[in-house]
């Protein structure tokens, strides 16, 4: 099986490559969920990428270069109880994080992205909780023909809040290495959501984080486990 995908420029993380969560989702869609994707090089924008199946793995290739590898996975981690929607709205990152944002044009968390273009998920610390949170209402540009938010968009929403959880302790420049995603229920455009991210641990330049998306009433939509790599 050889198929092709293109990562549209709208879905960038850094200026010249795809947002990690979105890119992982585009490949994970071939596996089904739950799935784990490992990024091996920055996913390029606006060029055809080949999806190739090898046994139980799906490979994302640019020519002969391996961009990512995906496989079925188990995401059995516990998730914390979500905050209320009011608590999520009141959570906000420290202002200096916006001032020093490494990728201000990021599709998910970039402050330069306008409403209806980027997701604008700005997760900040929730008082009394060991996590960050943010509200999110997906719009109709993010759905399939039935009005259901596409899986790769859910993966994108599960990406950056994990980084913001790490940033709550110390501002770092990090990139996504691995993302394991379990989508339990899918939301529709206009459904108010709460996105949560929490730090799990770290080892050298590797940082581990969990993320989850909930409904406004606390129903778990999706969860993810991420490995982030701190750049030197």
Please report whether residue 77 resides in a domain.
no
pTM, two decimal places: 0.95
From 49, 72, 95, the end of a domain falls on: 72
Q: Is residue 68 domain-shared with residue 91, that is, in the same domain?
A: no
Examine the pLDDT at 200 and tell me if it is beyond 70.
Answer: yes
What pLDDT score does 166 carry? 85
Which tens digits make up the pLDDT trace of 70-99?
Answer: 999 999 899 999 999 999 999 977 666 677
1 band by pLDDT with thresholds 50, 70 and 90: low
Which tens digits make up the pLDDT trace of 98-156?
Answer: 777 888 999 999 999 999 999 999 999 999 999 999 999 999 999 999 999 999 999 99
Q: Is residue 124 domain-shared with residue 208, that is, in the same domain?
A: yes
Single out the residue of 106, 129, 232, 230 nearest to residue 177, CA to CA: 230
Looking up residue 167, the CATH number of its domain turns out to be 3.10.129.10
Q: Is residue 112 domain-shared with residue 65, that is, in the same domain?
A: no
Show Cβ contacts of residue 123 under 8 Å, excluding neighbours closer than 6 positions. Answer: 91, 93, 109, 132, 133, 134, 160, 161, 164, 165, 195, 196, 197
For β-strands 65-72 and 174-183, DSSP reports them as unpaired
Q: Is residue 151 domain-shared with residue 47, that is, in the same domain?
A: no
Give the count of domains, the chain. 2
Please report whether residue 79 resides in a domain.
no
DSSP element (H, E) containing 211: strand 206-215
For 135, the domain range is 85-230
What pLDDT score does 160 carry? 94
DSSP structure class, residue 129 = S
Q: Is residue 22 domain-shared with residue 130, that is, in the same domain?
A: no
């Amino acid at each position: 099986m050889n198929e092709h995908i293109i990562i549209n420029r709208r879905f960038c993380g850094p200026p010249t490559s795809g947002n990690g969560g979105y890119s992982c989702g585009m490949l994970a869609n071939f596996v089904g969920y739950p799935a784990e994707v490992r990024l091996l090089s920055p996913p390029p924008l606006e060029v055809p990428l080949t999806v190739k199946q090898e046994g139980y793995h799906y490979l994302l290739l640019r020519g002969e270069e391996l961009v990512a590898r995906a496989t079925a996975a188990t995401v059995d981690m516990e998730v914390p109880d979500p905050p209320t929607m009011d608590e999520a709205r009141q959570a906000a990152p420290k202002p200096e994080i916006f001032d020093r944002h490494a990728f201000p044009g990021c599709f998910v968390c970039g402050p330069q992205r306008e409403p209806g273009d980027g997701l604008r998920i700005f997760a900040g610390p929730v008082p009394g909780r060991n996590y960050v949170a943010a509200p999110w209402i997906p719009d109709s540009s993010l759905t399939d023909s039935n009005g259901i938010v596409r899986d790769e968009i859910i993966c994108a929403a599960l990406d950056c809040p994990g980084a913001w959880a790490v940033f709550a302790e110390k501002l770092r420049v990090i990139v996504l290495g691995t993302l394991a995603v379990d989508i339990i229920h899918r939301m529709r455009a206009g459904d108010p959501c709460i996105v949560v991210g929490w730090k799990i641990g770290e080892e050298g330049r590797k940082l581990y984080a969990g993320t989850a998306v909930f409904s406004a009433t606390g129903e778990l939509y999706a969860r993810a486990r991420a490995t982030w790599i701190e750049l030197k």
